[in-house]
Structure 1
């Protein structure tokens, strides 16, 4: 960065051109009015102070585009000005060049220039005092400090404030970006949760409606048609009630505080779920059995957490829905058991056979939803065909930690 500042200065800024032009014009006017510091030193012609003025004005043109190059030009120009009758315009432009070198220069220069200006002031005062024993030496030292130290430290203070403001702005932008990322992830997670709930709430009822509507169309028996229509009406009413409850929850965040709180499904509702599946699958030759070995063994007086109970309920509900759609006639067995460490193990076994097509259409989102539920709770999930003594079966297995460790992640 230093080499670029010295070798390839950019185009001067508009304000820098105005400062350089104003300083040059002021210096020429002061020289014309003979308002300069005194006679030249070392036998130099007085006209050279105009050269020093011009060089200093040229340094002002580079104050922001090449601040170190500007300082390199300004130092000998100031020395020449002192030796040829000082012009106040040249001195003032020098202070601005020092200020700009600290403010716009590289960080290393910003740290070194103030220290160098202090050292120059002390040495100049000491040398002057050694050769000229006069109280005015102190005034000379103060003047040198005003020309070098004061602009250098002013530039450093302003630079520090500017860097601090920039750092705060970057942190604010980073915080805003992280907040937007968190909001996006929260929205995506909530959408996925709503999709799982909507699918689990409605798919079971709509599948039963589709199956019995097909049976009512194909069977030419009044009694069977009336039974199918009864099942269709029952599932329609239940599905509509659950849809209304879900819509109410989405519309009103305080819906649970109303007169009819929305109950979260628990393991106690599995019996009713199996009974409903029996009614819906009777026409398809399906039998549904629930083995609750957890209760049969008298295990655990402590209830699992609500998220675990809800996940077990939804897994069983979706598995029964899939059985109604795809299972061959036979027994669908649901087993709930205690696993090691107080975990819950869920197994749903249904007859599996190649069929020309499902009894009701599906989207495949049910298995995705079950995997997501188990993953959120830190459990394990597996689903697929498996051979057995009674032929091929479709086996759904899930293991959920009783404490739901993953729910907090």
Structure 2
């Protein structure tokens, strides 16, 4: 519901820093009116000026403590108690008791926990003390009970009210803190998801750049070395491989850009994850780059025939990881061991799929210009499927072996 202009202005005045001065003025005005109305002996034009001004002065002192009720509750309560002590000498009056009750409420509501607990402990002390003092001084039990009721009205009600409001305020603050913590946790989760997605995209970009574009560079250099001579059929084969790698790079880059733009239909149509049946393209590209690649496939589907495999083949996530690991291993062989012999073996194990890429070591290690992220990317891809990757020299040859498990429910 919309709040009108005057009500909005009143609500603004009821908030700090104007709230406490307004309360002090209201209490003083109300008390002054009560002092004027409660003197039945006053005749028109005849006022007991010293008595009246003394009470107004005491009331003003008490109301000055109200100015500090929210900022300095202990000091405000001390000023109120001092004024109430003077008013006790003059004879307790209702206006001062009203101000004292408000200061006790403020002490419980705005004060520290220690002050609030002290005010709660003060209530039974005040009740018992008023009963004992009244009985000891007057001997009248009925008067002592009436005094205790009055003390309860002045002490018990504001303290109970202040504690109730304080508990609701603390509960609301705790709820806000829980909501803020939940918001922070959700934000951290969102950032973690974004970071993981960026890492995955970085791996994909690395595979595209390191795989296709590195092959393009190496094959282009081979064509340049054959300029003016060489077998034209070989030149045409290398140029065809360059074109195929370029088209694949553009296709994968376009698919990733479409994904970033949120083109879900384009992603489903263009960015289908590569499978092991497409390894023939990687093998042909590696052969065109000068590698001698031998393939042994024991997965039940012929690599290089475009057959996606039988229904019992590995799941898409495992095939994608195996494909990217083979791509990175062949790229590393082209870059670090040009002209070497490479053996690619695909096997089905009891737990899943085993990929082994082995190549001979060169006599002299050529400058790679790489970033060192290849092995890290292969390990992360294998870890994403619950598998492992090992790489190192075995029997004088460099071997990359990836064990990718297949869960029973994925078979």
| Fold-level similarity (TM above 0.5) | yes
Give the C-alpha shift of residue 110 in structure 1: 1.9
Q: Which moved more, 1:167-176 or 1:369-378?
A: 369-378
- Is 1:71–2:71 an aligned residue pair? no
SS where residue 406 of structure 2 aligns? coil
Give the C-alpha shift of residue 314 in structure 1: 1.0
Alignment of structure 1 residues 184-223 onto 2, 5 Å: 184-219=191-226, 220-221=228-229, 222-223=232-233
- Is 1:124–2:164 an aligned residue pair? no
**Aligned partner of 1:239 among 249, 264, 275:** 249
| Paired residues of 1:203 and 1:321 also in contact (CA < 8 A) | yes
SS where residue 399 of structure 1 aligns? strand
Matches of 1:288 and 1:128, distance apart in 2: 109
Match for residue 4 of structure 1?
none
**Aligned partner of 2:344 among 334, 346, 351:** 334
Match for residue 281 of structure 2?
276
Give the C-alpha shift of residue 99 in structure 1: 0.6
Matches of 1:323 and 1:402, distance apart in 2: 28
Matches of 2:340 and 2:19, distance apart in 1: 90
**Aligned partner of 1:315 among 325, 346, 349:** 325
Q: 1:50 to 1:252 in 2, by over 3 A?
A: closer
Match for residue 371 of structure 1?
379
Give the C-alpha shift of residue 101 in structure 1: 0.8
Alignment of structure 1 residues 93-172 onto 2, 5 Å: 93-121=99-127, 123-125=129-131, 128=134, 131=138, 133=140, 140-172=147-179
**1:265-291 deviation line (CA, Å, top 9, x unaligned):** 333x2xx42x33443344554211223
Structure 2: segments with no counterpart, 5+ residues: 1-15, 42-49, 302-309
**1:122-171 deviation line (CA, Å, top 9, x unaligned):** 55257546846486766544332221111111211211121122222222
Structure with more relative contact order (C-alpha pairs < 8 Å, separation 6 or more): 1
Alignment length, in residue pairs? Answer: 372
Give the C-alpha shift of residue 322 in structure 1: 1.8
| Paired residues of 1:381 and 1:398 also in contact (CA < 8 A) | yes
Q: Which moved more, 1:174-183 or 1:371-380?
A: 371-380
Structure 1: segments with no counterpart, 5+ residues: 1-11, 39-44
**TM-score of the two chains, using structure 1 as the length reference:** 0.75
Matches of 1:142 and 1:132, distance apart in 2: 17
Q: What is the alpha-carbon root mean square deviation over aligned residues?
A: 3.9
Match for residue 295 of structure 2?
290
Give the C-alpha shift of residue 342 in structure 1: 0.9
Matches of 1:82 and 1:149, distance apart in 2: 19
Give the C-alpha shift of residue 73 in structure 1: 4.7
